[in-house]
């Protein structure tokens, strides 16, 4: 694992100002001890626990004051961010692909954009103001981009909870050919859709309930043309839409003449409301059902949020140090990236031995914590026994972290559209 190189970490720590003079607390050991805690069994929830874990793993007798002085340095988040970027460059690769028969096989990147908030210690309300001041006066918002085919994060922006999702959307690349973006209603904006379309990109986005475009054409799920809706405003006629079938519309907004987009309409009987999905995918190539199924793939980013917030440990720490909170959040990204990479390595081992089952990243995050700790300890011990520790961890996951219901996944889950693992780690 070349990103955990002691000399490179020391050089970067000196450049960033984290290391002023060489002491017993080496920057890489300090970081690896945090990884061990966040990726471990969840028994640590205070700064004192972090300090004790550092001494346990290093065999040193560093005082709490000396450890805390390092933990509160402003350069620590930058050092961890540097490490995470190194991890992304080394560990991110294509591990998922669509079957050749799927129309989605043409995409080289499927980017899922979303945001998620998390409450932090109330005393940090000035540094991280929350939207809901009475319930969570202090909170942060994680604005993230996931590449579905890499099955990992590619970008994260951490802000106070009061920032909107749309305001934190990263700049679009110059060319978006063979690229598909999946977004929820928080990113709905006609200017954005037009910009993606101009760059030859594709998108699927959930639309808010209040939209009211002009209907240019309407086709029922069974193929029947509904000419009576042509030229009408959506709000004026949607009450008459059939609830037992989806409808495929071509629509246009009065303020965006010349921009025609496709709007898929479905009735949600459980919530008793209409669901609107807007896209620029071609109707001939991508059926109405395939558009709806593809939007559901956006759920994969929610699983990463779950791993970050529930199984990477940082949310447990009640600390008044905004720097340490920021550092622990960034470190949780490192933990998720590293564990997902190792999960894909376990998947590759399964395929090489003739196995057809897929590894569950959810189970990986929850299990093997002791064995994962052994991997971290080996890294702290200059790589001694590292290969052996990794093999034991992967073997455990191969036996104990397989996806539970592969048949169900084929009917309602991510494999319904032909998306499957390559075992590409």
pLDDT tens for residues 148-174?
999 989 888 888 888 888 888 899 999
Confidence of residue 425 (pLDDT cuts 50, 70, 90): very low
In the numeric block, the tokens 């089952």 are attached to 357
Residue 294 has pLDDT above 90, yes or no: yes
Counting Cα atoms < 13 Å in the Cβ hemisphere of 269 gives 5
Judged on CB neighbours under 10 Å (0-12, 13-18, 19+), 230 is middle
8 A C-beta contact, residue 264 and residue 246: yes
Cα 185 to Cα 195: distance, rounded to the nearest angstrom: 17
Q: Which residues contact 203 (CB under 8 A, 6 or more apart)?
A: 180, 181, 182, 183, 193, 196, 279, 280
Paired tokens of 287 = 């059926």
The string of pLDDT tens digits covering residues 302-351 is 999 988 888 887 665 667 888 988 899 899 999 999 999 999 999 888 88
Name the pTM for this structure.
Answer: 0.89
- Residue 424: what pLDDT? 43
Q: What token pair was written down for 292?
A: 């709806």
DSSP notation for 239-288: GGS-SSS-EEEEEE-GGGTT-EEEEEEEEETTTTEEEEEEE---TTTS-H
* pLDDT surpasses 70 at 411: no
Average pLDDT across the chain, whole number: 89
Using 50, 70 and 90 to split pLDDT, how confident is the model at 377?
very high
Query: Could you write out the DSSP letters of every residue in 11-63?
Result: HHHHHHTS-SS--SS-HHHHHHHHHHHHTTTS---SHHHHHHHHHHHH-----
CA distance 247 to 232: 15
**Over pLDDT 90: what percentage of the chain?**
61
Contact indicator for 128, 121 with CB cutoff of 8 Å: no
CA-to-CA dists, residue 221 to 249, 393, 412, angstroms: 11, 48, 19
Task: Give counts: helices (H), strands (E), the chain.
Answer: 14, 11
Q: 91, 148, 27, 23: which is closest to 335 by C-alpha? A: 91
- For 17, left (φ over 0), alpha (ψ -120 to 50), or beta? left
125 confidence band (pLDDT: 50, 70, 90) = confident
CB 303 within 8 A of CB 361: yes
| Residues 216-230: tens digit of each pLDDT | 999 999 999 999 999
* Tokens (6 digits) for 84: 């995470």
What average pLDDT does the segment 247-255 reach?
Answer: 95
pLDDT single digits (tens) 91-108: 888 999 999 999 999 999
Model confidence band, residue 410 (pLDDT cutoffs 50, 70, 90): low
Phi, psi dihedrals of residue 22, rounded to the nearest 5°: -65, 125
pLDDT in tens, 193-217: 999 999 999 999 999 999 999 999 9
**Distance between CA 205 and CA 276 in Å, rounded?**
9
Q: What is the DSSP string of 166-198?
A: GGGPPPPPS--TTEEEEE-GGG--HHHHHHHHH
At 38-77, the pLDDT tens digits run: 888 667 778 898 999 999 999 999 999 999 999 999 999 9
pLDDT band at 84 (very low <50, low <70, confident <90, very high): very high
Question: By C-alpha distance, which of 262, 151, 161, 157 is closest to 202?
Answer: 262
Q: Among residues of the chain, what percentage have pLDDT more than 70?
A: 94
CB atoms within 10 A of CB 320: 12
Length of the chain: 425
Q: What are the tens digits of pLDDT across the range 1-14?
A: 668 888 999 999 99
pLDDT tens profile 11-27: 999 999 998 877 788 99
DSSP 82-102: HHHHHHHHHH----EEE-TTS
108-117, 133-142, 379-388: least confident range: 133-142
């Amino acid at each position: 694992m070349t990103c955990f190189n002691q000399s490179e970490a020391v050089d970067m720590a000196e450049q960033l100002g984290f290391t002023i003079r060489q002491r017993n607390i080496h920057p890489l050991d300090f970081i690896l001890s945090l990884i061990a805690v966040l990726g471990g069994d969840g028994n640590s929830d205070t700064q004192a626990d972090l300090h004790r874990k550092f001494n346990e793993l290093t065999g040193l007798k560093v005082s709490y004051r000396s450890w805390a002085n390092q933990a509160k340095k402003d350069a620590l988040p930058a050092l961890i961010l540097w490490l995470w970027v190194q991890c992304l460059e080394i560990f991110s690769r294509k591990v998922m692909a669509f079957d050749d028969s799927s129309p989605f096989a043409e995409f080289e990147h499927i980017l899922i954009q979303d945001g998620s908030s998390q409450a932090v210690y109330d005393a940090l309300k000035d540094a991280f103001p929350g939207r809901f001041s009475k319930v969570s006066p202090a909170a942060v918002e994680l604005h993230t981009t996931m590449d579905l085919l890499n099955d990992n994060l590619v970008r994260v922006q951490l802000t106070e909870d009061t920032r909107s999702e749309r305001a934190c959307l990263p700049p679009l690349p110059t060319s978006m050919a063979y690229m598909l973006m999946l977004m929820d209603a928080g990113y709905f904006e006609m200017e954005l859709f037009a910009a993606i379309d101009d760059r030859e990109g594709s998108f699927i986005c959930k639309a808010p309930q209040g939209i009211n475009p002009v209907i240019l054409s309407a086709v029922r799920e069974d193929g029947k043309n509904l000419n009576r809706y042509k030229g009408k405003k959506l709000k004026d006629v949607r009450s008459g839409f059939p609830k037992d079938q989806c409808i495929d519309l071509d629509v246009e907004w009065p303020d965006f003449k010349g921009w025609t987009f496709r709007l898929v309409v479905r009735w949600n009987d459980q919530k008793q409301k209409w669901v609107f999905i807007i896209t620029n995918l071609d109707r001939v190539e991508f059926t109405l059902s395939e558009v709806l199924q593809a939007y559901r793939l956006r759920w994969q980013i929610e699983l990463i949020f779950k791993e970050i917030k529930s199984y990477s440990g940082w949310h447990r720490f009640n600390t008044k140090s905004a720097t340490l909170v920021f550092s622990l959040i960034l470190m949780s990204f490192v933990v998720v990236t590293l564990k997902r990479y190792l999960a894909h390595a376990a998947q590759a081992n399964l395929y090489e031995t003739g196995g057809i089952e897929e590894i569950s990243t959810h189970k990986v995050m929850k299990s093997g914590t002791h064995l994962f700790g052994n991997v971290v300890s080996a890294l702290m011990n200059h790589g001694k026994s590292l290969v052996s520790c990794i093999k034991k961890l992967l073997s455990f996951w191969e036996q104990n972290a397989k996806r539970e219901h592969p048949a169900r996944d084929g009917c309602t889950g991510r494999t319904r559209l032909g998306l499957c693992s390559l075992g590409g780690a």
